[in-house]
Each structure stands twice: as structure tokens, then as C-alpha cells.
Structure 1
Amino acid sequence: MFSRTLHSLRHTLALRLTLWYAGIFAVSSTLAFALAYALIAAVVRERTDEDLQEDVEEYATFMRVGGLDRVKTEMMVDTEGDEARQVFFRLWTADGQQLWASDLSAWAGLDEPKDVLAQLADTEEPILKTLTLPQREHKARTIHGTIAPGVVVQIGESLEENEEFLAALSQGFLLVLLAVIVIGGPVGWFMSRRALRGVQELTRTAAEIANGALDRRVVVRSEGDELDTLARTFNTMLDRIHALIIGMREMTDNLAHDLRSPLGRIRASAETVLTSGGSKKEESEAMVATTAEECDRLLELINTTLDIAEAESGTAKLRLADIDLAEMARDAVELFQPLAEDKQIAIAADLPDHCPLRGDRQRLQRVIANLLDNALKYTPTGGRVTLKLDDEGERLKLAVEDTGIGISPHEISRIFDRFYRCDRSRSERGNGLGLSLALAFARAHGGDIAVDSAPGRGSAFTVVLPRSRHALPTGI
């Protein structure tokens, strides 16, 4: 059990992030210490060099005040006891003769500084060097400086204290680094788990949805980070998918219902003929006519559904041509004039002489025809239907207005749904696809359809189209 848990943790993003956090902490701490160590070591060395330079100046003063004897006396005082292990002095002539030296028993291996004395002959500045002696554990820092004409002092100081200080600093850093690694692991784990909490919630929600809980959504926190944006986008996607699934279910139910009625009538006609024994020619002809009519309705239903799906998916291939929308609208009014006269409805047109447009003639004709048919269908006897066309330059507005029964506010948002029919329109013949097809074709041309309606006041459907096939801005 433990081995399986450990094996699963090895492949988790949280563990990888934890290791990254701990590694970054360790590397950044190491770099920070290296920089601090270099700065501190430079400061320590600089202070040592300053002390040595001050010593040279001090002995030069002694030389001026008390001569060589005073200098020797001060040097002997400075090297009494254990100090002889920490510092040494040597006095040289400019040509390399040693004048005096302190106790050098702890400084075996010192060479004659002939090269340094030669350099001093060309410069007045003291010369600093670091010595490594074979019998000493720690290095030494030396300075050669002129304290009087022809007299050079050599001062050597052990770097034991400096090296011990820097060693203690290194040990302290190692302890701090170890603490950072020990603490950085849990802290990194906590930070990674916290950072991935939104991803885990997203994963759980996706798993629940995969198991059938389509109403589940990711909880959006109020932190405003990228995970919140991801959660909102994921929820929007789920809402869209859920709406599509519901729409598909409704479309399937409605399509099954609309297919069942014609098929039932076809079956009833066939059973009638079979029951009568097919003795009457008139009955057979009527059955054939009914069958043909219902098959036409089925084909129209299926073709319309496919046309809507093709237009909405963006795969519809428009046959674009230069057309006159005003002429097309006049032709539509003439086409529906007999139907309007039969229902005693006045149909009028308010159109300009010409209105050029680039579009698909057949599909735009169906848009106008569906809107006129819809207006005449739901306008009572004595009503009026008006077709208007306004040319606004870059876009055109084609409006179909009627004095019909109108549409209730809660139904306006659904009238363009496939197979949807308002409560007061169910008694009329139709399949609920006319407005869906009109909207799909309008949007395929880069346009849209707006509705203004109220019960008892009538309706106004306004098709807005760009003069050339480009998408219109929202808010038409």
C-alpha cells in the first residue's frame, strides 16, 4: 500500500513542483551566500591591508622621531610572547642587506624579498603579498614599505583569525542551507498543493461530469488569478456543452414527433387501402397522393434541418452574386399577394428603387419568404403586413412588420430555436423551423435578425445585413 502511494507520488506534478521549489531555494541561497562570502572576504582583506599600511606609516613616524633604535624597540614590543607567532618584522636596506629581524622561529621558509625590493626602487607605494609557508597552517599577508631613505620594512601578519572567521561563516551557511532544504520541502509541498488546488477541483469536476453529473461546475474563487480564469472558462464551456446537449435532446424529440405524424398518416392511408382490398381506384390514388405529400413534408423537414445545421456550423457554401435586394423584396410581395388576399390581409411594401447587395440570392429569398409567411400566418383577417427596406450605406435593414397576435416576452428568446413553437401558434400548420432557417442564413451573410413584439400589438422582424459579406458589430 505504501509502495503504491509512494510510486503514485513520484509521478505527481505537486512532487515535481516541490522539488523545484526546494532546488530553487537551495540554489538561490547558495548564490546569495557565495556573493555575501565574496563581499565579506574582500572587506576583511581590505581591512587587513589597511592595518598593514597604517603600521608602515606608524613605523615611518618612529623612524623620523627616534631613528632605527626606536623602530627596533617598538617592533620587539609588538612581537613579545605569543605575538611572535602572529606577526614578524624585518628591516632591509635598499640593496637587499638585512638590518634587523624579529623572532622568526615560527616563520620558517621565509625568502629574501629581492624582487620586492627591486620593485620598491621604482615606486613609493607599499607592496602587498600573500605568503604560503610550508610549515604554517594558515597563510600570511606581508607588506613592504620604505620608512626612511634606504630603509625598507617588511611586516608579516598571520591570516589565521580571518580564515577562522570565514570558515565559521561557511559552516553557518551550511547549517542555514540545510535548514532551508529541510523547511523548503514542506513549504514547497504546501505551496504546490495550494497552487494546484484549482487544477484538482477542475479534475474532480471533469471526472464527475464524465460520470454523468452534467450540472456540476467548478467553484470560482475570488483570487483573480489564472486558475480563476481557467475555472470560469471551463464553466462557460460546460454551460455551452450542456446547452448543446439539451438542444440536441429537444431537437431529437421534436424531430421524432414531426416525423411520426407524416409517417402515421402514410401508414393510415396504406391500411385503409389494404382494408378495402384496393377495390376502388380513387382510394389508391388518394393514398398515393397522400404518401407523396407526406414524403415531401418529410424531405422538406430533413432538408431544412440540414440547411440550418450547415449554416450554423459555418460550412455553408454561399453562391455570392451582385443582387438587387429591393427587386427581390418586390418579387416576394407579389408572390405572397394572393395568399394575403385570401386571408383578407393588406400587404404593402416601402422599398427604394434599387438596393445593390452582394449575397446568395436563393438563401436571401428564403429569408424574406419565411418572414412574410410567418407574418401572414399569425396576422388575423383585416390585419396588415408591411415590408420595409432602409439603405444605411454599409448595412441594410429589411423589416417585416405585422399587426398580428404578437409574441410574449418570455417566448421571444426562444422563437429562433429549432422546432420551437409559441403556445398560440401550435394550432397553425408548420414545423417550427422557419425562423431558425432565416436567422441561420442571415448570420451566414454576416448579419442578424432583431425582434420587437408584444402580445396584441404585432411583431417587427428586422434583418440587418452588411452590404458586403462581413460580420456586423454586435448591438444592432
Structure 2
Amino acid sequence: MAPLKLPLRTGLLLALFSALALGISIGGLVLVDREARRLEAATGAARDLAEIEAKLPGALADPQSGPLVASALAEIGQLAGETQQPRFIFLRGADGTVRGETAIWPTDARPYQEKYQLFTARGVPAAGVARRLGDGAELLIGRPVPGSAPVRTSLTIWGLAAAVLLLGLSAATGITISRQTTRRIARMNALCERVEEGDVDARLPEEAPVDELEQLGRHMNRMLEELARRLDALRSASDNLAHDLRTPLSRVQGHLSRVESLALKSDNVSAAEEAALASIELDRLMRAFNALLDLREIETEPTSPPQFFDLALVIADAVELHEAVAEDQKGVRIERRVAPCRMRGHASLVLRAVANLVDNAVKVSPRGAVVLVESDCDAREVRIRVIDEGPGFPSFSRSPSTLGGHGIGLSIVRAVARRHGGRLETASGATGATVTLILRK
């Protein structure tokens, strides 16, 4: 049985989900850090504005204090530059004139957190507050948003380490958990293979806890128990039928033989011929009956475990069973083109199937014909072909001269093919039929 790939796939899938979760978490931390830095800059600018209002009480709201406010703001900006405390101060008069860091009001200024502003000054992202003055001018004070390089570096290092750790733990956890599952699935597969080989008495061990797989296993056990019960009933009915019919049929055969002998002694040729014909038909019925019992045995009886055997020797034995009779009584020659091959299965069943096919081919082939038996195999399959020079299909499979009028011979071959995980293929040609028995190695 091929190894299951579920552990690797499950482990990789779990590792992928863990990596995605980690990536989302790191992305969330980056966003939180960015918001924290913006808020830090904005609240700092709000404190700066509060300090200005404290130093110039009432000046910001006084329409007459515009020049005083502008002068004070210029001094604060100069002092901030000298003390290495970066501040961004913009003052836009009622006439649109801008004073401050540059003569241009930040064009990207936008609201942030309802009471703050985000903008860019000197190419640096900043956050601050805006205030309308008493003379109609507008004041914008901001601080630069601290860079995120240190945080990103830390998050990158931590994230990579955590990702490697999570990937390893996830893969190990997924493989461990899924191996426990696949071991149980492997037991179910092994059970199915044993049942395919005819062992309907095989069962799965019942374990605890009763999860979904355990419930499935118990359902399989109950299903197999019902199957075994029905097969036992079929075997019992077949055995009873065989016991009830075989003895009477044998007695009738004996009676017909005595009738034929008595008719010949009394020179009643017509009665002797009728008795002979009846005996032939009865013999055909007996052979069909025995074939049915063989089919029942193949389909329902458990066999020994499959073993490796030489297919060429089995085919040779099957041909030898019919070779002498074919040449002496029908003038049919059997040729073999058999490739060396070893396969795993039931040699006795394969022998019976090939012998059936050869027997059928000899029966339908005219005198002087050649029956060809050939085989080849590859890494997966064995193919056994029997080619005759008879009338071909469909009459081949249902002809009274082939299978006793019941088609049981090919049914037996099909049963052997199913037992070996294979199939039976038939085809008619210009001068005969080809039957191919395909078996799994």
C-alpha cells in the first residue's frame, strides 16, 4: 500500500495558517505603532499650543493681537531650532499670507482623530493641532512623527524568529496529529485489501474514544458482519443444493447408461441413441453444475494469502492440461509466447482461469487451427491473451459448445480477475476472438 501524504499536507497547511496569523499580527503591531507615534506627536503639539496660550493669555482670541502673536510664534520657532526640539509652526493670515517654516501652507493637511491634523513639512510626516485666531488667521502647530525604523527592525527580527519557531512547531504538531489519523486510515485500507482478497472475517479493533473515525470503523465491522452472514447463508444454500442434486443426477446418469445398454442388447437402436443423447445432455448439465459450484467457491470462499509465483510455469501447466486432447481429438495446435514474469496472487486460481480460456478456445477452433497463448507484464499489470480461430463474439461466450450453454466459464475467469484486482477483455477479429485476462501484480 502506498504511503499516505496526509501528514505532510496537514503539517504544511497548519504551518501556512500559522504564518498567515503571525503576518497579520505583525501587521497589526505595525499599525498600532504608527498610530501611537502619530498620537505622540499630535499630543505634544497640543501641549505646545497650551503653553503658548499660557504665555500669551487671551492674545490668540484678541483681534488686535495678531502682530504680537506672529512675533511670539517666530521666537518660539527659532528657540525650538536652537534647542534641537523640532517644531513646525505655520501662521496663515486672513489675507492668505503664510508665515512660518515656509511660505506654503501644507497642502496635505487633513483631520486626524477629530481634533488633530496630519500633514507633511520639509518632507517629514507630522501631526499637530490647528487653531483659528481672533483676527481671522489660522495657526498650525505640529511635531514630526518619530521614525519607525527601530520598531520595524525589532518587529522584523522578532517576526522572523517567531515565524521559524511557529513553522517548526506547526509542522511538527500537524505531522504528529495527522500521523495518528493516517495510522488509523491505514488500518482501514489494510482491512479493505484483506476483504478484497476474500477474507471477509477480518475486523478492525474497537478503541476509545469513539470519534468519527472510530464510528466509521465500527460501521465497517457491522457491514462486514452482515456480509459474512449473507455469504454463510449462500454457502449453506449452495452446499444443500449440491447435496440434494448431485446424487440424483448421478443416479439418473447411471440409469441412462443401463437403458442405453439394454436398448443395444435388444437391437432398439433408436432408443439407444435417445438414451445416449440424454446422457450427453445430462453430462453437460453436470459440468455446468460443477462449474457453478466452482464459481461459488471462488466468489465466496476465503483463500490463502497471496504469494509470489512464476506466471510462465502456471501458463505452461494450464496449456499442458489441454494440449494432448486438442491435438489428438480436434487437430488443434496450441502455441505459447510467454514472457518471464513473477506476480503476487493465487497460482491455483490463475491456473484455473487460463485453463478455462484455453479449453474454450480449443472447443470453438476448427480442425487444423492454432490457438495462441501469450503473456506480457510491466511494473503494475500482467496480461494473458488467448487467441483462437473460431467464430468470434458474441456467439463465443454463449455457444453451447463452449460453456455448456450457461456462460459460466467466462464468469469463473472474471471472478478470478476480480480476485486479483483485474478485469477481462474480449474482442472479435477477422478470423477469431481474443480474450485478455488482466491481473494486478
Q: TM-score, with normalisation over the residues of structure 2?
A: 0.48
Q: TM-score, with normalisation over the residues of structure 1?
A: 0.45
* Structure (1 or 2) with the larger CA radius of gyration: 1
